[in-house]
Structure 1
Amino acid sequence: MTQRRNLITDVAGLRIGNAHDAALGSGVTVALFDEPAVTSVFAMGGAPATRETDLLDPDKMVPAIHGVVLSGGSAFGLDAAGGVQAYLREQGIGFAVREALVPLVSQASIFDLINGGNKDWGRYPPYRELGYEAARRAGLDFDLGTSGGGYGATTANLKGGLGSASTTTSSGHAVGALVVVNSVASAIVGDGPHFLAGGLEEGDEFGGHGLPARITPDMRRLIWKGGPQPATTIALIATDAVLTKAQAKRLAVASHAGLARGLRFSHALFDGDTIFAAATGRKPFQDEAAEFTELTALAADCLTRAIARGVYEARALPYPGAQPAWRDRFPSA
């Protein structure tokens, strides 16, 4: 039996690759599917940055896609999908239209343009090459925290980052979450060290602190970046279940509950909160309604846990005045 990684790659049929630039203060994470995956998306933030998302609606022609990109760079970062397309085309992968081959890659980006990195890149931003490199590195194991698309991520009070978690439903379907935590708000209760996700933690995956005995009114005080600064948490949910595009859409919608539980708060005006949901189609349902309902619930739980892991595993950026990481703020924890 394959050992569980507690990563989205516990779902058979996909690989994850990361690439980042420390001087730039940004990066790219790529999910590549072994076979085209039925995928949909739902954005609930007020300021999303996305590419090739309309084709994921259930009424659109394309049945499945080849990859999903979660990147930094805001609108500039959307170039990353072009690099992933270039890599896939070199491998002979794409949607065939007579002699033309078009890799289908959807993307969402976070706003990390004022985190201290050098964004003076000249005429063209570097995300296309970062996307290519992330695709080239795709595998089953990958780093969390300050890595890939989470390299430049921040939250209201702690360094953000790349998180992932997985679980299995009672019917044996694998489900996992991959998230770039770049929230306008906070992932911890009050001043910490407890994570809002503490009640769902498995083992010590983000410190083993659970929830505080009581959440006081002061702990519920809103903490946010403030001002007109966009911030976005973007994610991919994956499962080995056989889903229609309509079910994938419903899975993406339902998974936003996990984002709302892992952050205080989400889906705000300056957020671009966007969740993709993909099915690699390895295991059909037996009792479709009941099994799909459980799948949506556990997917949201995975996303909540992945948010906490992304912050817990993060390291501070190597710049003067950079936002502290959770481990900097709570070294004794």
Structure 2
Amino acid sequence: MTQTRNLITDVAGLRIGNAHDAALGSGVTVALFDEPAVASYCVMGGAPGTRDTDLLEPDKVVPGVNAIVLSGGSAFGLDAASGVQAYLREKGIGFGVGSALVPLVPQAITFDLLNGGNKEWGRYPPYRELGYEAAQTAAQDFALGTQGGGYGATTVNLKGGLGSASTTTSSGHTVGALVIVNALASTIIGQGPHFWAGGFEHGDEFGGLGLPERITPEMRQLDWKGRSRESPPPVSTTIALVATDAVLTKAQAKRLAIVAHDGLARGLRFAHALYDGDTIFAAGTGRKPMQDEAGDLIEIGALAADCLTRAIARGVYEATALPYPDAQPSWRDRYGMDASP
């Protein structure tokens, strides 16, 4: 199968919608499934923010979900799922309980409250309406970088953003990743321009620079948000969805979410820290049965992690700086469109 987008929407059965507010400096990204998708999740950060994730555990009764939301706004952003629920309910989509219909919309959020945007929104935050708007725009094609839930995202040294990537397994299953890169630490090696993800790049999807000839001890020096006492509190989060067209059980989706965290560890220096909220959802749209269940699942997991590594770099590579004084520079601001080793 030839990939035409290099986006998570190469996985049949899902669409992505984005909405953001430039004055607010934040936004929402939603994945809508054409049919209820078998899904699970895994949190490995010390400061997560989620909604309706318990129902994704393999021992819970719900067989599938209608959408997954990735949003900015910290705990205020959890209102976004309500907007997506409203949209789905209008379309007659949801989990039937007697005569009631309940759209199932798990969500994770990032902390982007200190990025320079105007967060004085009055009594209620705007994320419910942003969630509704994002659901309305859901399509197979969507933009990366400073878009949707990645609009207000930052890293320790460069503007973060929304990233995505896809690939195909040897048995023909499609795998994809979608991520909001709002990392505590860095996506680049030392002072850049190379990405930690450089060894996994397909073509020139994030500049074609590969890896430097040698990674020196100086390049491995750690830095993170809030390390300096003059810096804001080091609250952060990178959140993601990995998906496949394979038929999965909830237990297999749980394993896929766990394995996909390898992608965070490779694309960032570093992940899973005390003030990270690192959360990954995994979903199967059920379009293609697995033939060798163990072998197929192992390869799907490995490639989902690879896609997430690549998506992290793409989210930063495609980002543009926020339109505020003293906003973080983007990768392209600092290194130019055609940076070379």
Place the TM-score, normalised by the shorter chain, in its bin. over 0.9
Alignment of 1:207-218 (within 5 A): 207-218=207-218
Aligned residues between the structures:
333
1:100 corresponds in structure 2 to 100
Q: In the alignment, residue 285 of structure 1 is paired with which amino acid? A: M
Q: Which segments of 5 or more consecutive residues in structure 2 lack a partner in the other structure?
A: 228-232
Matched, 1:42 2:42: yes
Residue type of the alignment partner of 2:7: L
CA distance in 2, matches of 1:13, 1:23: 33
RMSD: 0.8
Stretch deviating more after TM superposition (228-237 or 86-95): 228-237
Paired AA for residue 243 in structure 1: L
Name the amino acid aligned to 1:281.
Answer: G
Q: Which is worse superposed, 2-11 or 21-30? A: 2-11
Cα deviation per residue 1:250-285 (whole Å; 9 max; x = unaligned)?
000000000000000000000000000000000011
Could you tell me the percent identity over the aligned residues?
Answer: 79
Per-residue deviation at 1:223?
Answer: 1.5
Unaligned runs of 5+ in 1: none
Give 1:3 deviation, angstroms.
5.1
Q: How far off is 1:71 after superposition?
A: 0.3
- Asked if 1:261 corresponds to 2:258, the answer is no
The 5 Å alignment of 1:3-152 reads 4-152=4-152
Say whether the 8 Å CA contact 2:224–2:234 is kept in structure 1: no
Using the alignment, how far apart are the partners of 1:317 and 1:48 within structure 2?
24
The yes-or-no answer on 1:275 pairing with 2:280 is: yes
Runs of 4+ in structure 1 deviating by more than 3 angstroms, as ranges, are none
Inter-partner Cα distance in structure 2 for 1:276 and 1:236: 5
Task: State how far apart, in whole Å, the 1-side matches of 2:303 and 2:311 are.
Answer: 12
| Aligned-pair CA distance for 1:99 | 1.3
Q: Residue in 1 aligned with 2:326?
A: 321
Which of 307, 312, 320 is equivalent to 2:312? 307
Question: Structure 1: how far apart are the matches of 2:223 and 2:3?
Answer: 39
TM-score (normalizing by structure 1): 0.99
Cα displacement (A) at 1:2 = 6.8
Deviations 1:12-41 (CA, angstroms, capped at 9, x unpaired): 000000000000000000000000000000
Distance in 1, Cα, partners of 2:213 & 2:282: 34
1:238 matched to which residue of 2? 243
What amino acid maps onto 1:157 in structure 2? N
SS in 1 for 2:193: coil
Counterpart amino acid of 2:127?
A: Y
Amino acid at match of 1:22: A
- 1:251 aligned residue (229, 251, 256): 256
Query: 281, 285, 288: which one pairs with 2:290?
Result: 285
Q: Is the 8 A contact 2:33 2:66 kept in 1?
A: yes
Match status 1:182 vs 2:182: yes
For 2:212, give the aligned amino acid.
Answer: P
Q: Distance in 2 between matches of 1:92 and 1:123?
A: 30
1:282-329 Cα shifts (integer Å, max 9, x gaps): 001111111110110000000000000000000000000000000001
User: In the aligned structure 1, how far is the partner of 2:130 from the partner of 2:300?
Assistant: 33
CA–CA separation in structure 1 for the residues paired with 2:152 and 2:196? 22
User: Residue 219 in 1 paired to residue 219 in 2?
Assistant: yes
CA distance in 2, matches of 1:50, 1:292: 26
Report the AA paired with residue 73 of structure 1. G
> Which digits, 9 at most, give the CA deviation of each residue in 1:226-269, with x for residues without a partner?
25321000000000000000000000000000000000000000
Q: Secondary structure at the match of 2:20?
A: strand
* Distance change (3 Å), C-alpha of 1:201 and 1:2: closer
Partner residue, 1:169:
169
SS in 2 for 1:135: helix
